[in-house]
Structure 1
Amino acid sequence: MGTENLTETLAGTVAVLFDFDGPLCDVFAGRPAPEVARELALLAASTDPALSAKLSETDDPLEVLRLTHATNPELGLRMEEALTAAEVEAVAVAGELPWGRSLPWKRCARLAGRSPW
């Protein structure tokens, strides 16, 4: 899609949502995902010790969440809340990616009269 088409598309919008992790910034740059996974695994295992071995095998917070939900749905809901809180903390210290300020969508958003932030 060319810049002109993207500008036209954006001109007819009220809001545009982007996934921050990857296109705009490295969400877990200041709070690494493996660290968050360990914290979640320890929290889950403190409530359900049977999960300890299974959760120690991953360094992915989403996998910790998935495994916890599959084993103990009620605990999975608490892990979801804990992961959301960790993501909010991570976003506060996330690092902008080098290309974040020069992405074409940002120029198109400005041309369409939209604020990219």
Structure 2
Amino acid sequence: MVAGTETEAEIETAGLRELVARARVVLWDFDGPICRLFAGHSANRVARELVEWLEGRGMRRLLTDDERAAPDPHVVLRAVDRLHPRSDLVIELEERLTQEELRAVPSAMPTPYADPLIRTWSAVGTRLAVTTNNSPRTVRTYLASRGLLGCFAPHIYGRTAELHRLKPHPHSLNRALRATGADPAAALMIGDSPSDLTAAQEAGVSFLGYARNERKAKLLVDAGAEHVVGSLQPVLDALRRQPHAAP
């Protein structure tokens, strides 16, 4: 199911209600479902500057033409890590990316309905965690700025020095499940990319796709996502209709 342009009646399917009712712990991707981190601080520019930083040090050969042109800074970071895992070069490159993410926080755009959905889920006792490829420092800084840190802390699982374990590897999800003591069958992940879906499948966790446009929705559906919404409003509505939820 792809939602977004459909009517409210079409969006509120039995499948969505069941996903929400079954969730005892919700694992959130960060950039996308919670906010658009680079809404005012271009990810494309960040990726380009990381490439330029490498080239300025005579390391152009570390990247393929496709990697140099990629709009995602994580592509650059992964490429260098594959050749020089855990090296000082990777550590410095990762820190540069983290600093760019932190600079993006003040201009990040909250995803509509994410804040009230997070607060409502937390209020009814559902455990929440962030499982992301972004820096955990970035996540904590953003959540604190929105007054949401208490809804998640300490369960924020982001990028570590083990870059080969970024999603689609299920490492961050498995860390969250172990820390919360959650049965994967009682967990739900909200993500916006095929790599989120793959990680959820590998961890044995149900998946709800969030797609802010048709292009992202198609990527998720083509990857096999069964439930995709174009707005978090129907998720919030489904939660509020649960017997335990506050109005």
Q: 1:108 to 1:37 in 2, by over 3 A?
A: same
1:94 aligns to what?
A: 108
Deviations 1:43-96 (Å, cap 9, x if unpaired)? 111112324654423111001001122334432221111111111111232111
Are 2:92 and 1:83 equivalent residues in the alignment? Answer: no
2:80 to 62, 68, 74: 68
Give secondary structure in 2 for the equivalent of 1:59. coil
**Mapped contact 1:42–1:52 kept (Cα < 8 A):** no
Write the letter of the residue equivalent to 1:28: F
2:68 to 51, 56, 74: 56
How many residues align structurally? 107
Cα distance in 2, alignment partners of residues 67 and 108 from structure 1? 37
Q: 1:19 to 1:53 in 2, by over 3 A?
A: closer
Cα distance in 1, alignment partners of residues 52 and 35 from structure 2? 27
Length-normalised TM-score, structure 2: 0.37
Length-normalised TM-score, structure 1: 0.71
Question: 1:17, CA displacement in angstroms?
Answer: 7.3
Give secondary structure in 2 for the equivalent of 1:102. helix
Gaps of 5+ in 1: 11-15
More helix by share: 1
- Of the structure 1 ranges 85-94 and 65-74, higher mean CA displacement relative to structure 2 is found in 65-74
Are 2:34 and 1:24 equivalent residues in the alignment? Answer: yes
Cα distance in 2, alignment partners of residues 107 and 70 from structure 1? 41
More strand by share: 2
- Greater relative contact order (CA < 8 Å, ≥ 6 in sequence): 1
Q: 1:17 to 1:53 in 2, by over 3 A?
A: closer
1:13 aligns to what?
A: none
Are 2:54 and 1:40 equivalent residues in the alignment? Answer: no
Gaps of 5+ in 2: 1-19, 128-146, 150-247
Cα distance in 1, alignment partners of residues 31 and 96 from structure 2? 18
